[in-house]
A and B are shown apart, each in its own frame.
Chain A
């Protein structure tokens, strides 16, 4: 390998991102337990470190924890994606000031290719980047550096849980000792099932997995697990835009607030689910090959006539374009809908997901796909900055049957003029030798 440039990756991951965004504009929330709820104020989707310590888990239905919330003065917030989206953009743009090769992996994570940087002291450079992100945006990040994306991810995990290293960690030249401290379940792409299976055969740490015979891993697990093991040894198997994790299916469905009988209402609900699902696909840079639409009457009410219907279609070529998915969904749903039934639930299910490279097909034009891609980008940008659903397809309807409940949303501090943070021009006086701010404005 003499003379060739050794690849080097960093993974920057925002610490408790949603909670951190809330705290930038409300510093009094620092040090307090805080949870952020899902779209409908249903479940916990993000937690501050303090809330994690109290034992709150992602997915906890919040109504079950009223007592704990009260007892520990837990701050509860609805999700504020206009704010999180804008802060994410700022963090990612700051990262791009340091390296042009950035792969945004999720709203709060990005891989950075370091090999091309002019400054060769990567650890120092990433410390500088961390400080800059913190100063410019107020968001704390942890950064892991390694020869492969899997090692960078592992170093990031180490940086997050190790105090006193300033949030930045690099996999050492001889990483064996460090790998021995990492549990196999904490490795990127090794899910719960695999880690259980691995532990059963005595593979407990990242070091054990790296030492395991490649062919054996491939035969007992799969090629992705083998690649992960090779990455732990420092060989690049996941390039930019590649990862061991990939969702296989995507489901969007919900019960109706009140039974739906008309095609108009049902089609709007299906289109709305299709829209959400397509957004998620694009967010994860995936395309779907198989689309299933389903709807049914109440499963429990035996008084009214019952009907359950579902239809499947193959999307050629695989796609993540909203209007293509809506069109396909409505086309297959219309013939199976029947008048005279009170439908209780509808949904779309996308499967055979694969990563963004859309294969060329004889039946569609390159031009059309470029146009669709640009349109989707615009759609996502507007919906991120102005609130989800601002721009939507007419098929999703203008009076939504299902409305979002968001009672505890913080202001959209950075994207709406009417919701800017207020800064107090107040007077403080001497009182008992201690200086403090008096609340005597107006």
Chain B
């Protein structure tokens, strides 16, 4: 009933023999979290859905890393709450006016009205997208 738990054997034996000359140089392995997640408490992962941000390099199905502790600035990619839903947008700040824009690929460029943050649309900023993880090849 109980499955055996297999654990990888880490490092060499320690009780006898000469130590490996490489042992002194083994420090640690690289962890992507260190690069991608600056503030784990405020970081959330979300999934992008749709194509309106293709121009910004965010494609359907991409994994987005969102840091809510980052202050959004002009040109930030943000997760915004628009009409009660979470959406991905490019933030544009002109003076005191902040607006949200989609960024489709060149092919899809059309007429888009920017959404003003805090206007009658009740749009608010949920967090700042700091990284996008895009799969290039299906493994397995």
Contacts and interface: CB of A to CB of B under 8 A. Distances in A.
Does A associate with B in a complex?
Answer: yes
Interface of A: 25-30, 90, 93-94, 97, 132, 135-138, 394, 398, 413-414, 417, 420-430, 434-437, 441-442
B42 A136 contact: yes
A414 B2 CA distance: 29
A30 B84 contact: yes
B46 A423 contact: yes
B81 interface: yes
Give the most central of A132, A420, A427: most B CB within 10 Å.
A427
Given A27-B85, A136-B68, A436 B49 contact: no
Top-3 shortest CB links A-B: A28-B84, A441-B50, A425-B50
Interface in B34-61: 39, 41-42, 44-54, 58, 60
Contacts of B42: 90, 94, 135-137
Contacts of B126: 27, 138
Given A425-B50, A425-B88, 5 more contacts: A132-B69, A423-B64, A425-B52, A426-B52, A428-B113
22 contacts: A136-B39, A136-B69, A394-B1, A413-B44, A421-B46, A421-B47, A423-B47, A423-B64, A423-B79, A423-B88, A424-B85, A424-B86, A424-B87, A425-B51, A426-B52, A427-B52, A427-B104, A427-B108, A428-B82, A430-B112, A435-B121, A437-B85
Nearest to B84: A28
Contact of B102 (A420, A423, A426): A426
A115 B55 CA distance: 52
A288 B115 CA distance: 58
A417 B45 CA distance: 8
A8 to B, nearest CB: 25
Contacts of A429: 110-113
Interface size class of B (residues with CB under 8 A): 35 or more
Contact of A424 (B49, B110, B112, B124): B49
Contacts of B115: 428, 435, 437
B4 interface: no
Contacts of B54: 425
Given A138-B68, A427-B104, A422 B111 contact: no
A136 B114 contact: no
Interface in B89-116: 102, 104, 108, 110-116
B46 A27 contact: no
Contacts of A436: 83, 121
B13 to A, nearest CB: 25
A196 B113 CA distance: 62
B58 A28 contact: no
Contacts of B50: 424-426, 441-442
A6 to B, nearest CB: 31
A436 B85 CA distance: 12
B102 A428 contact: yes
B41 A394 contact: no
A424 B58 CA distance: 11
Contacts of A441: 49-52, 60
A137 B51 contact: no
B56 to A, nearest CB: 9
Contact of A420 (B2, B45, B82, B110): B45
Contacts of B86: 25, 27, 421-424
A430 B114 CA distance: 9
A87 to B, nearest CB: 10
Contacts of B82: 428, 437
A90 B37 CA distance: 14
Given A90-B42, A435-B114, A426 B87 contact: yes
Nearest to A136: B42
Given A421-B46, A437-B82, A94 B60 contact: no
Given A135-B69, A421-B47, A425-B88, A94 B112 contact: no
A288 B83 CA distance: 51
Contact of A425 (B87, B120, B124): B87
A90 B41 contact: yes
A424 B1 CA distance: 44
B2 A27 contact: no
A97 B121 CA distance: 35
A55 B85 CA distance: 28
Contacts of A29: 84
A136 B128 CA distance: 11
B68 A427 contact: no
A433 to B, nearest CB: 9
